[in-house]
Amino acid sequence: MDVRAVRRTGLQPVSFSLAAGEGLAVSGPSGCGKSLMLRAIADLDPNQGEVCLDGALRSAMAAPAWRRLVGYVPAEPGWWADTVGQHFSDWPAAAELAARLGLPLDAGDWPMTRPSSGERLRLALVRALMNRPRVLLLDEPTAALDAASVTRVEDLIAENLRAGLAVVWVSHDPAQVTRVARRRLRWDGEGFREEAGA
């Protein structure tokens, strides 16, 4: 994925390119535009600049098709139906992935009032992965999780990275940044700059 000078109000121009199977960690203080950057790449807010994926321009593609290729999991994912399972087109298939993240197989029947915020984050991750995206934009996907669940999420993402998924991972945790990605994008006070590989 090639991101070329993507910008909007509240977001300085960002450029980077990401190969299949590559992970990019994004860090910076609150309010520097990390979430705005992910939203802009997913084309959820009006933005300037161009993004292309495998040579195909985002602007030449219908927005829903783009968002199936470039999945975005926000820090506070939304839910529109009454039960967990209704948010998945194929819950039995999704349940296997959810089980790997420590969720019970019958979670599909849960009313949406039941899952905790940590469980919701993991369910949202499964929901996004079920679309089989080429790129995944993750906004603090382990913020509300206990240590065991953090490891499970990191392992699942690492496995998808090896299978060719590209991941942009916003994280506050410096240790996690070094674990999940070889490349890092850091806020230097004026804009996002790529740091030399660790």
Contact of 71 with 133, CB cutoff 8 Å: yes
Residue 194 Cβ vs other proteins, minimum distance, rounded to whole Å: 26
CA geometry: angle at 185 spanning 69 and 25, to 5°? Answer: 60
Q: Which is nearer to other proteins, 36 or 124 (CB)?
A: 124
Question: How far is 130 from 84, CA to CA, in rounded Å?
Answer: 14
Contact footprint for other proteins (CB under 8 A):
42-46, 62-65, 67-68, 71-74, 76-80, 124, 127-128, 131
| SS3 (DSSP) at 65 | helix
Q: Which is nearer to other proteins, 120 or 183 (CB)?
A: 120
- 150 φ, ψ (degrees, to nearest 5): -60, -45
Residue 21 Cβ vs other proteins, minimum distance, rounded to whole Å: 22
Q: Which is nearer to other proteins, 73 or 177 (CB)?
A: 73
Q: Which is nearer to other proteins, 23 or 77 (CB)?
A: 77
Q: Which amino acid is at 93?
A: A
Residue 131 Cβ vs other proteins, minimum distance, rounded to whole Å: 6
